[in-house]
Amino acid sequence: MTDQTAVTETAPTTDGNSATDRSDAAGPTADTERSDSAPRPEGEGNSTKIAAVIVNPIKVELEALRASVSAAEERHGWGASIWLETTEEDPGSGQAREALERGVAVVIAAGGDGTVRTVAEELRGSSTPLALLPSGTGNLLARNLDLTLDDVEHALDTAFGGGERKIDVAVADIRGEDGKVHRHAYLVMAGLGIDAQMLVATDDELKAKAGWLAYVKAISTVLRDKNELRMRYQLDGGRAHSLRAHTIMIGNCGSLPANILLLPEAAVDDGEFDIVVLRPEGFVGWMQIVVKIFWENGVLRRTSAGRKLMGAAKEVRALNYLKGRELVLRLNRAQDVELDGDLFGRATAIKTWIEPLSLAVRVPAE
């Protein structure tokens, strides 16, 4: 990127060691590994499989969903599912742990991106698959896996009778302004800069009524902000670099709502994440970004004729791509950080890495 510097400090891990102490950053660490010898599913004695439905009661119509799940259980010969509701205090972690302890055959996450991310954080490294029952405005993982977004019956048939696909999970150690480090997983993207600032500026009440249109007002507010990210970064234990940017996003997947293809080469099962750095300088820089994302990525890349017309993609100064398995960022001052569309406070340093193929997700049967 720009101006190489030596990193004298690195983002910490939760056990107090430096970020470069990890011997295998691409795989699960000792505190995230789980045994494959999970408890036997409830009802296994009579060969009846049991699912757990972790549901965000604010996002779904519970009565209608219970009826649909009951019908799907009967169609596929499963026993009655365990129902676990999320709360404001526990958005899914405790419920997912309980589901694992009770040895269910599949965990169905019925809610928005936050519910899916939180449940997946607990299931990663286990042999228990995650099934998605999308709800809310984003449904980011479901979109990137080309799963059904508005057909409950089809989604439940996938949950109870579908196949499995192993996908990567990204994990981040985030050091807050208080110096404490918190570890979280994410499935789609992590972001600093305009991405996180947009979430801060979004009116939650308007979002509930207008969905993604609520972000239009937030974007106009954020673009007037001259705040610039200044950081040092280290990719895959390589040389340290200094960087000034408007936004940096680290993606396990490439697509956003409104059919925006932000990271065209990102794959959810390739063992690495893709990184995009936005650093526009005035109107021309923003136009380069618009052309790159909305025209080249959004239109040309989607057809063979378009790819021929585009030819060899040329990198522009306003937008740069990187790939890697581990990224360490140290910021000159605290910045808002988001994971899969949820804010996780202000960070002074971040270490993020990929756990390859550590989560099984239910997909439609072939």
User: What is the pLDDT confidence band of residue 12, given thresholds at 50, 70 and 90?
Assistant: very low
Enumerate the domain spans of the chain.
2-20+169-279+318-359, 44-161
Residue 9 has pLDDT above 80, yes or no: no
Residue (of 155, 175, 361) closest to 253 by Cα position: 361
Of residues 14 and 69, which shows the higher confidence score? 69
**Token reading at 81:** 């599912």
Mapped onto helix, strand or coil, the DSSP state of residue 165 is: strand
**Token reading at 68:** 């649909």
Question: Residue 15's pLDDT is what?
Answer: 42
User: Distance from CA of residue 1 to its chain's centroid?
Assistant: 25
Q: Which residues contact 291 (CB under 8 A, 6 or more apart)?
A: none
Helices marked H in 82-183: 93-101, 113-123, 140-144, 152-161
pLDDT by residue (tens digit) across 266-294? 999 999 999 999 887 777 777 777 777 76
Contact between residue 159 and residue 51 where contact means Cβ atoms under 8 Å apart: yes
Residue 123 has pLDDT above 70, yes or no: yes
Q: What is the 3-state secondary structure (H, E, C) of 40-109?
A: CCCCHHHCCCCEEEEECCCCCCHHHHHHHHHHHHHHHCCCCCEEEECCCCCCCHHHHHHHHHCCCCEEEE
Tokens 């396990």 belong to 252
Question: Residue 206's pLDDT is what?
Answer: 44
What is the pTM (predicted TM-score) of this model?
0.78
Contact between residue 166 and residue 360 where contact means Cβ atoms under 8 Å apart: yes
User: What is the pLDDT confidence band of residue 200, given thresholds at 50, 70 and 90?
Assistant: very low
Residue 325 has pLDDT above 70, yes or no: yes
Write out the DSSP string of 208-239: HHHGGGHHHHHHHHHTT----EEEEEEETT--
Question: Residue 130's pLDDT is what?
Answer: 98
Question: Residue 148's pLDDT is what?
Answer: 86
pLDDT by residue (tens digit) across 214-269? 444 444 454 455 568 899 999 999 999 999 988 899 999 988 776 678 888 999 99
Tokens 């193929």 belong to 357
Question: Residue 314's pLDDT is what?
Answer: 64
Burial (CB count within 10 angstroms: exposed 0-12, middle 13-18, buried 19+), residue 64: exposed
Top mean-pLDDT range of 80-89, 214-223, 246-255, 309-318: 80-89
Of residues 320 and 170, which shows the higher confidence score? 170
Contact between residue 101 and residue 52 where contact means Cβ atoms under 8 Å apart: no
CATH, domain range 44-161 = 3.40.50.10330
Q: What is the DSSP letter of 147?
A: -
| Angstrom distance (rounded) from CA 337 to CA 97 | 26
Q: What is the DSSP letter of 194?
A: H
Contact between residue 288 and residue 316 where contact means Cβ atoms under 8 Å apart: yes
Residue 156 has pLDDT above 80, yes or no: yes
Tokens 């286990």 belong to 126
User: What is the pLDDT confidence band of residue 11, given thresholds at 50, 70 and 90?
Assistant: very low
Residue (of 362, 355, 361) closest to 34 by Cα position: 355
What radius of gyration, in Å, describes the C-alpha atoms of the chain?
21
Q: How much of the chain, in percent, has pLDDT values that exceed 90?
A: 55
For domain 2-20+169-279+318-359, which architecture applies?
A: Sandwich (2.60)
Helix axes 93-101, 113-123, angle to 10 degrees: 40
| Angstrom distance (rounded) from CA 156 to CA 235 | 40
Question: Residue 7's pLDDT is what?
Answer: 36
Residue 167 has pLDDT above 90, yes or no: yes
Q: Tell me the Ramachandran region of residue 164: left when phi exceeds 0, alpha when psi lies from -120 to 50, beta otherwise.
A: beta
Average pLDDT, the chain: 80
| Angstrom distance (rounded) from CA 263 to CA 75 | 39
Give the burial string for 352-364 (b: 16+ CB within 10 Å, else e): bbbbbebbbbbbb
